[in-house]
Structure 1
Amino acid sequence: MSKPVLYDYWRSSASYRVRIALKMLGIEYETVPVDLLTKEQKSAEHLARNPQGLVPALEIDGLRLTQSLAIIEYLDQTRPGSGLLPSDAAGRARVRALSQAIASDIHPICNIGPVDHVVALTHGGDKVRQEWMQKFIGEGLAAFEKLLDNLATGRFCHGDSPTMADLCLVPQVYNATRWKADFASLDRVNAIATACGELPVFRHAAPKT
């Protein structure tokens, strides 16, 4: 069987999530870069892979998969013992809720397409871009911090080993740092991000800046 192929952009937080998952599971893969800044994601070639014109897309097991959380859930279900989702229904529901709080609520309004459109409409340039990112990433992480006020939170978002929720949190913390969002007071978020950063799989998957 051929090696999996990840269609990736280095700073894409959705791609970053999948890179961590692949590293956690020890899955070797090839990377095909898709440059979001030059709109390569809107090329006919990439639209044939993903009609949404987004990254990541992952070719694995004879399939072509899109949407980072769907990819991670597929990997969890096809690689027994992955730990990406807990084994119990209540735990899975909590990890999915934490993951979607970032991937469905923070990420979409901070994605390159919507933010570029806001900047174009306001003619506000980089100032508007930065203020937009700071507002929505900062508010989103503050709400996430409150979700972590739960007995199920451990060294990581759910318990004492990383799950899909941590795979969503770490890229969002990277974005928060990049855009200088205010999250210094979020003790749980920062402690979990630090714990993840101590693991080689998270470090190896991180954007190379």
Structure 2
Amino acid sequence: MAKAQFDRNEVIENAIRLFWQHGYSASSMQQVVKTTGLQPGSIYLAFKNKEGLYREALDTYAANSKKRIRTALEGPDGMLKGICTVLESMIEQSTQEDYNSCFLIKTQLELAAEGNSLHELASEKLDEIEALFRSYLEQEFDTETARKRAASIMVHIFGLRVYGYKAEAAERMRESLRQGLPWLPWNHTSRQA
């Protein structure tokens, strides 16, 4: 049998957009076919099934998220200001008309009752993001403080991702971050981050 010829990265990026917007359960195989441009046989050959494609979409989304976080934390302003930049960026995203929250968090919420492998994968990826923050914080703080602060960052990220879907909520979110994470250098953060 001949191997399918397509741009795997493009297919995964298109799948991310579909699944991110509609979720796993509400994305029909017909929508997957239309969005990816692949025939069902090619999807099954390359990804085994819709769940396999969804898993790769989650993996790719998480890898891209971790890369953006690393870039901010390793930026010229330093790690702590980088954390502020990451959080401010999330506030700015939440004010966009086409805002879609976080793919990992949405997956976790959608599939929580089912407790299936996709829910577990989304949880693992969120744990990896927390571990990434913790590893950087350990450069500045003791292990226990870094652990607690990384967990606090994640709690705030979860809140940001589900709290605001309109521009009016942005300032309330900023105030809440400053109140909940007072150890970060907020006065140096640009609103245009």
Shorter-chain TM range is: 0.3 to 0.5
- Structure (1 or 2) with the greater strand fraction: 1
- Structure (1 or 2) with the greater helix fraction: 2
The structure having more radius of gyration, on CA atoms, is 2
Q: So what's the TM-score if we normalise by structure 1?
A: 0.33
